Amino acid sequence: MSANILDGKAIAAEVRAEIKAQVTERLEQDQLPPGLAVILVGENPASQVYVRNKKNACKEVGFADFAYDLPASTTQVDLLALIDELNENPEVHGILVQLPLPDHINPETVIERISPAKDVDGFHPYNVGRLATRMPKLAPCTPHGVMTMLAKTGIELRGLNAVVVGASNIVGVPMVLELLNARATVTICHSATKDLPAKVAEADLVVVGVGIPNMVKGDWIKPGAIVIDVGINRLDDGSLCGDVEFESAKARASWITPVPGGVGPMTIATLLQNTLAVAQAS
Ligand SMILES: NC(=O)C1=CN([C@@H]2O[C@H](COP(=O)(O)OP(=O)(O)OC[C@H]3O[C@@H](n4cnc5c(N)ncnc54)[C@H](OP(=O)(O)O)[C@@H]3O)[C@@H](O)[C@H]2O)C=CC1
Ligand SMILES: Nc1nc(=O)c2c([nH]1)NC[C@@H]1CN(c3ccc(C(=O)N[C@@H](CCC(=O)O)C(=O)O)cc3)C=[N+]21
Ligand SMILES: [Mg+2]
Q: Go through 216-242 and write b for each residue having 16 or more CB atoms within 10 A of its CB, e for each that does not.
A: bebebbbeebbbbbbbbbeeeeeebbb
Q: CA nearest 242: which of 209, 266, 272?
A: 209
Cβ < 5 A residues, ion ligand 3: 141-142
**What pLDDT was estimated at residue 44?**
83
CATH of domain 30-115: 3.40.50.10860
Tell me the CA–centroid distance for residue 172 and ligand 3, in Å: 12
The predicted complex's ipTM stands at 0.97
Ligand 2 and 268: CB distance under 6 A? yes
Are 265 and 8 spatial neighbours (Cβ–Cβ below 8 Å)?
yes
Are 162 and 206 spatial neighbours (Cβ–Cβ below 8 Å)?
yes
Cα–Cα distance, 66 to 87 (Å, whole number):
13
> pLDDT (tens digit, 0 to 9) for every residue of the chain, 282 residues total?
798 999 999 999 999 999 999 999 999 999 999 999 999 999 887 788 888 899 999 999 999 999 999 999 999 999 999 999 999 999 999 999 999 999 999 999 999 999 999 999 999 999 999 999 999 999 999 999 999 999 999 999 999 999 999 999 999 999 999 999 999 999 999 999 999 999 999 999 999 999 999 999 999 999 999 999 999 999 999 899 999 999 999 999 999 999 999 999 999 999 999 999 999 998
Question: ∠275-16-208 over CA atoms, to 5°?
Answer: 80
**What pLDDT was estimated at residue 46?**
79
Cα–Cα distance, 192 to 65 (Å, whole number):
41
pLDDT tens per residue, range 69-97: 999 999 999 999 999 999 999 999 999 99
Tell me the CA–centroid distance for residue 101 and ligand 2, in Å: 15
Pocket-testing residue among 142, 171, 193, ligand 1, by greatest number of atoms within 8 A of Cβ: 171
Tell me the CA–centroid distance for residue 29 and ligand 2, in Å: 33
Q: CA nearest 258: which of 217, 222, 228?
A: 228
> Which CATH superfamily groups domain 141-264?
NAD(P)-binding Rossmann-like Domain (3.40.50.720)
Ligand 1 and 210: CB distance under 6 A? yes
Say if 30-115 and 141-264 have the same CATH topology.
Answer: yes
Question: In the chain, where are the structural domains located?
Answer: 30-115, 141-264
